């Protein structure tokens, strides 16, 4: 039987919160950098099995207008049957999802094993290839299947099956690979807003009283 680890995460202060780990604080830096409103450990739950569970973050409207909880875990890659690298779902996360909690597990702060340094994760109820994306009409950041920015703000008045060029952000116009012309795409996992947010989160320093 493996020994239980005696290594503890370092509690870290950022944004008026004392986080249980530096990794959680870095994700808070990321959320701030992309303009998302976040709430740290706002509410705990008792799962049907009797286990008490406290998700790390709640972010309103982040998934196509839907609120979503996020659990932060260290990056521990495992291999799926198809050869893709992914992270094992924490048992409490799986139990909370089974009980109906809208919950995403984030591992590490940047997944360098995916192409073009885009960060992907499992969606609780739909596809596995979810990630951060930017709405091509409003510039708002959210999560969407395959980093499709057009799904971030589905109710936006300019979001149509055949969007007009004058409504599209310049980055999308300069990057034809985003397929912004297709009303449900606008791939944007490598948009500068997201790339720079990961950079800020990775470079944040919390030692000696610094606050990110």
Q: Tell me how many degrees the CA angle 176-193-190 measures, rounded to the nearest 5.
A: 45
- Rounded to whole angstroms, the Cα distance separating 66 from 49 reads 26
Q: Most confidently modeled of 120-134, 172-186, 197-211?
A: 172-186
Could you report the per-residue pLDDT of 41-88, keeping only the tens digit for each?
999 999 898 889 999 999 999 999 999 999 998 876 665 544 445 677
Nearest Cα neighbor of 158 from 172, 146, 174, 147 is: 172
Residues 140-152, buried b or exposed e (16+ Cβ, 10 A)? bbbbbbbbbbbbb
Model pLDDT, residue 172: 97
Q: What is the pLDDT of residue 82?
A: 47
Q: Average the pLDDT over 137-155 and give the result.
A: 95
Query: Who has greater pLDDT, 75 or 111?
Result: 75
Q: Left, alpha or beta for 100 (phi > 0: left; psi -120 to 50: alpha)?
A: left
* Average pLDDT value for the chain: 86
Q: CA nearest 86: which of 51, 129, 23?
A: 129
Residue 201: CB atoms within 10 A of its CB come to 22
Render pLDDT for 21-48 as a digit per residue (tens, 0 to 9). 999 999 999 999 999 999 999 999 998 9
State the pLDDT confidence band at 118, using cuts at 50, 70 and 90. Answer: confident
pLDDT at 3 over 70: no
Average pLDDT on 1-23 reads 78
C-alpha 14/C-alpha 5 separation (Å) is 26
- 77-102 burial by CB neighbour count: b if 16+ within 10 A, else e? eeeeeeeeebbebeebbebbbeeebb
Boundaries of every domain in the chain = 12-205
Calculate the CA 97 to chain-centre distance.
16
Kindly indicate the confidence band of residue 112, based on its pLDDT and cuts at 50, 70 and 90: low
């Amino acid at each position: 039987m493996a020994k239980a680890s005696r290594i503890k995460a370092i509690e870290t202060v950022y944004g008026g919160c004392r986080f249980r780990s530096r990794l959680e604080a870095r994700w808070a830096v990321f959320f701030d950098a992309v303009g998302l409103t976040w709430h740290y450990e706002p509410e705990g739950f008792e799962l049907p099995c009797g286990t008490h569970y406290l998700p790390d973050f709640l972010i309103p409207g982040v998934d196509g207008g839907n609120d979503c909880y996020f659990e932060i875990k260290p990056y521990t890659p495992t291999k799926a049957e198809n050869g893709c690298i992914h992270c094992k779902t924490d048992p409490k996360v799986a139990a909370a999802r089974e009980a109906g909690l809208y919950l995403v597990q984030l591992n590490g702060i940047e997944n360098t094993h995916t192409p073009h340094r885009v960060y992907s994760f499992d969606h609780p109820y739909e596809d596995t290839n979810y990630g951060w994306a930017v709405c091509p009409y409003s510039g708002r950041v959210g999560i969407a299947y395959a980093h499709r920015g057009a799904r971030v703000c589905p109710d936006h008045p300019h979001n149509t099956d055949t969007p007009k060029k004058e409504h599209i952000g310049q980055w999308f116009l300069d990057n034809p690979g985003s397929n912004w012309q297709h009303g449900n795409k606008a791939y944007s996992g490598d948009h500068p807003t997201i790339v720079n947010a990961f950079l800020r989160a990775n470079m944040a320093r919390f030692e000696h009283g610094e606050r990110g």
